[in-house]
Structure 1
């Protein structure tokens, strides 16, 4: 979502505390991908570099969320060396499944693991940090770090995600989770973006003292324009009440219910339009489902200049998860949503990770997932209740300031690396 480049303010305020430290950072998603976890992995590399470390990123080729090669420069070859903003980047070839089902993802993971593990073993950095997902990045770090301290940043729990999204059956997801936990036990420090991830890992026998809070942050700069002006810039319908969802269009988002809400808006002539910005493995199916529906619009992924305008164009922003999704992930879009000065609708499971976070902060109108009627009613309520919408907007802004500040996040990244460096030096962290 949006431009992955770290904000100038955050970069200039990073203290040079890591001088002389060398860091190997492994993650399959990295710049120039703009959706999902790539912006955060990119920001971590830049934050550590700004703090004085020499960072070597081992990553894949740009493919997400389209699940297609995004730059023909990587159409040929097995390995690429690049430099960007002081970060050394090594990219390795991996498969890109046309259908990211269990078989397709397994092939992607195996091919990335083969290349990444070789690079990790060649690397001579002082510390190693792996980002999950993917499991292959975690495995490359766990199997290749040798005697070097290993840190892991858990953005998603892959086994839980596979089961809750419907990508795999229960037995397969349990096997994936078991392997994931076994690899995580090799880590010296585990960064979690929400405390619930830490609780789940501790329940699986991982040590409490290894857990470190590393919440994500917003990586965009909001624009202060009216919704009407933003819609005019983007060429969207100007007079409809506009509900915007951004990011991946995959299984776990459950966006078929949004299409049905748009169908109901058409039938009842409510003037409520749903805009789905992004791409993913379910986009083609969603577009087919939406054929003939006027109250829905599909917009391809936007660049860093236009993405903030997509948020500003919304009368309400939508977090939407498939029914049954509870423990698999925290939507990364929430960090950008909270900075946008727009009310949020969260169609999420009661008691799930996402629901618990937004409820704690009072930052969204929470409704059950998979219910088009309730989604449409939530949009109508926000359109009619200006004061209620303002309360939600203010709460979301407080959440952004308290939880998702870029400067605070970058300082946490530096402390995480420092704690690993202290282990290498034999100093209590």
Structure 2
């Protein structure tokens, strides 16, 4: 594929999170920027200092640097621990928004088309503001659909002033955008139902299948180190966030620990707002089958993410059409059977049931989780077959290179 630059393909990705932040969105957006650069776009990035997890906040990164051929500019931003309070999370978001607005205000000719993922969640409004005062073209990338997501998470009231103002600004931002990319079909449907006719395209998130590959646990150093080789391992790796129903998993673990003789291990990896509650539940119930680890270094991910037999993907009730869990793509890439805690209307539920690569259960139904795991314990060959089908559908639909090719195709609509 030609890699030569063209003068009409200048893109600036504006995102609160970018390499070396450890969030899933930072990883996807970093790979997207590099991939578009390789496909002939002239890509630059405007971001803040790493702030997603405690290790990310430990060191400052250069204000200017080149990352795999992409020019990165880090602007002023706060780095509060977002898990400590909603106020600190919002402070990080608002400060980055204002800092990005001031940075871009007088740089129209240098920036080209703005690529605006919802990180922070109201970033598409930045594009609309800059288009009004400086004539920018912009493309929102909807990773999570706010403010409705904030309502479902009980951060906002649908009757409140903040929601109404945000919603009206969103309508203007999406209708004025050159193109809006969503990461799922149900999200695209929700967006157009809420905000009316606008130019949209669906490009799913992805995983790098050359990095995350199925691996026998006996040959997996991470599995050996953490005693995960022999137990049937249910793995959850990622943000222990507020829109994930993880308490039901701990409750199911307590039931299974009392009722089954098989060797089971529920391994949680990551951080987030629900982790304190989950750890407390585990201690209160004196569970030996539930354990917790922090986020793992990037170089460890090919083994930590493939250390389970069953990959757990969870979405809270009410967020259908508002988000698609990035963990889903990693889970199917790893070749594990998928335990999807999600309503049947969600994107991941549709895929799991369509290709029979796992079992879907309803949120807040620990008994259904128990039944699913018991089914796999009684039918281990079926569990392995589901994992193989998960990897197959990943290779068919969600490989990194094909997804970035799709981005390049749709973005050329507005850059040429």
Provide TM-score, normalisation by structure 2. Answer: 0.89
Q: Which residue of 2 aligns with 1:365?
A: 359
Change (3 A) 1:361 1:187: farther
Q: Does 1:134 align with 2:120?
A: yes
Q: Does 1:240 align with 2:223?
A: no
Q: 1:212 deviation in Å?
A: 1.1
Gaps of 5+ in 2: none
Q: 1:409 deviation in Å?
A: 1.0
Do the aligned partners of 1:24 and 1:120 also contact (CA within 8 Å) in 2? no
**Does the residue aligned with 1:215 lie in a helix, a strand or coil?**
coil
Change (3 A) 1:237 1:358: closer
Q: 1:136 deviation in Å?
A: 4.3
Structure 2 counterparts to residues 191-270 of structure 1, below 5 A: 191-208=181-198, 210-219=199-208, 221-230=211-220, 231-270=222-261
Deviations 1:320-355 (A, max 9, x none): 222333232100011111111211110111223332
- Residues of 1 paired with 2:404 and 2:127: CA distance? 22
Q: 1:17 deviation in Å?
A: 6.4
- Residues of 2 paired with 1:81 and 1:59: CA distance? 10
- Residues of 2 paired with 1:361 and 1:269: CA distance? 29
- Residues of 2 paired with 1:233 and 1:331: CA distance? 28
Structure 2 counterparts to residues 156-167 of structure 1, below 5 A: 156-167=144-155
Gaps of 5+ in 1: 1-13, 423-429
**Does the residue aligned with 1:23 lie in a helix, a strand or coil?**
strand
Do the aligned partners of 2:343 and 2:363 also contact (CA within 8 Å) in 1? yes
Higher normalized contact order (CA 8 Å, seq sep 6+, divided by chain length):
1
Do the aligned partners of 2:338 and 2:352 also contact (CA within 8 Å) in 1? no
Counterpart of 1:342 (choices 336, 356, 363) is: 336
Q: Which residue of 1 aligns with 2:59?
A: 72
Q: 1:174 deviation in Å?
A: 4.0
- Residues of 1 paired with 2:287 and 2:381: CA distance? 31
Q: 1:224 deviation in Å?
A: 4.6
- Residues of 1 paired with 2:258 and 2:338: CA distance? 24
- Residues of 2 paired with 1:33 and 1:418: CA distance? 28
**Does the residue aligned with 1:128 lie in a helix, a strand or coil?**
strand
Q: Does 1:376 align with 2:370?
A: yes
Deviations 1:177-200 (A, max 9, x none): 443333222211011111111111
- Residues of 2 paired with 1:144 and 1:135: CA distance? 17
Q: Does 1:122 align with 2:114?
A: no
- Residues of 2 paired with 1:290 and 1:177: CA distance? 39
Q: Which residue of 2 aligns with 1:93?
A: 76
Counterpart of 1:111 (choices 95, 114, 117) is: 95
- Residues of 1 paired with 2:225 and 2:130: CA distance? 46
Aligned length: 403
Do the aligned partners of 1:317 and 1:342 also contact (CA within 8 Å) in 2? yes
- Residues of 2 paired with 1:85 and 1:312: CA distance? 27
Q: Aligned-residue CA RMSD in angstroms?
A: 2.3
Q: Which residue of 1 aligns with 2:22?
A: 34
- Residues of 1 paired with 2:18 and 2:313: CA distance? 23
